[in-house]
Structures are given as C-alpha cells and as structure tokens.
Amino acid sequence: MNVNRSILITLVFGLAAAISPAASAQAETWRFDPLHSSAEFTVRHMMISKVHGVFGGIKGMLVYDRKNPAASSVEATIDVTTLNTGEAKRDSDLKGPEFFDVKRYPEMKFKSKSVEVAGPDKLRVTGDLTINAITREVVLDVDGPTQPIRDTQGREKIGVSGTTKVSRKEFGILYNPVMESGGFAVSDEVSIEIEAELFRK
C-alpha cells in the first residue's frame, strides 16, 4: 500500500512538473516598437472641421495570453513632446501650459486593469490613462493582436489597433473660447486611435 501511494505521489508531482512549464509559457511578453507605433487624435475645430494630430515614441509592454486573454495586461508611455499636427504654431500652442504642458508633463501613460474578449480577434481593455498628472479610467476597443509574423530583421512581431474617446476637460485641458456665432472653438470630446507593432521580448 505504501509503495503504491509513493508511486502515485511521484506520478502526480511528475505530471505537475510537466504541465507547469507549458502553462506558464502561454503568456507571451511583447514590447512596443516605437518606430512603428503611434497614437493619433481627432478633435472638432470651430464646430465645422476636424484637426488631426499624432504622437510617436510609444514604449511599453504587452503580456498576452491567447488561451486566456483575461490574464493579459499592457502598460505604455507616450512621448508627448512628439506631438505633430502638421502646423508648427499650433503644435507649439498644444505643447504649452493651456494644453499638454510638456515641460511639466512630457509623458502620458496607460496601465490596464482588465481585459475582456469582445468578439473574434477583438478585445475590450479597461485601464487608467494619465495625462497632465490626472488619471481617469478609459476603455479601449482593440482589434488584434494579429498572428505573429517575422520582419526583415527576423524579429517576431504582432500588430494591434485600439480606439477610444475621452473628455479633454477631465484631464485638465480647459481651453474653451466661445465663438461670436455661438459654440466653442474646440470640442471637448477627443477621439484616439492607436496603431502599434510589437516584437517579442
């Protein structure tokens, strides 16, 4: 009886040892490629047109478990000094104290709190977004991650796209002159779209 019990215990621990590495290997760690990742924003101007801008310099890490996406997480920082709307004077204003105040707050940050499956190859990522030292919860609708491929340097890479909308006033960006005809020069709602490539750590 004792011999059988000893054999059983040995088999159980042997099986656990065999399974554990496979289970832990399900979560893969990927890093953002700053040269091929960006965050674009769109805001309505004077109620008649839209202004588009882009931030580069995204850095961070995605830990992704394809078999259990809820166990995944992502952290990212964006270099606010890279802001570019295609017009130098406007870029200078947006980097100033009435907007992003890049001298005091050169980075914005995102850290996930939960990840849910929203459909085939779609995720819903809830997390904390920090802009101008103010943190608010946002929800990203994400397409991907894609299946891995290898780039010209032989690195394994994946792609993700994410969208959300935020209120700039909630992040302390209060600039809001009223036009003579009524309405505001800049809308409160800002649409954000993230396009990113990530490589395996």
Residue 14 in this model has a pLDDT that exceeds 60: no
Q: E strands, the chain, where?
A: 27-32, 38-45, 49-55, 58-65, 73-79, 107-119, 122-131, 134-143, 149-150, 156-167, 186-200
pLDDT of 25: 54
| Digit-coded pLDDT (tens) for 128-170 | 999 999 999 999 999 999 999 998 889 999 999 999 999 999 9
**Using an 8 Å Cβ cutoff, are 50 and 59 in contact?**
no
Residue 85 in this model has a pLDDT that exceeds 70: yes
Greater model confidence, 37 or 176: 37
What are the structural domains of the chain?
27-200 (2.40.128.110)
Average pLDDT, the chain: 86
pTM of the model: 0.81
**Cα 110 to Cα 80: distance, rounded to the nearest angstrom:** 13
**Using an 8 Å Cβ cutoff, are 179 and 46 in contact?**
yes
Cβ neighbours of residue 148 closer than 8 Å, sequence gap 6 or more: 156, 157, 158, 200
**Cα 164 to Cα 138: distance, rounded to the nearest angstrom:** 7
**Cα 32 to Cα 104: distance, rounded to the nearest angstrom:** 24
**Using an 8 Å Cβ cutoff, are 159 and 144 in contact?**
yes
pLDDT of 10: 39
- For every residue of 129-173, DSSP letters joined together read EEETTEEEEEEEEEE-PPPPEE-TTS-EEEEEEEEEEEEGGGGT-
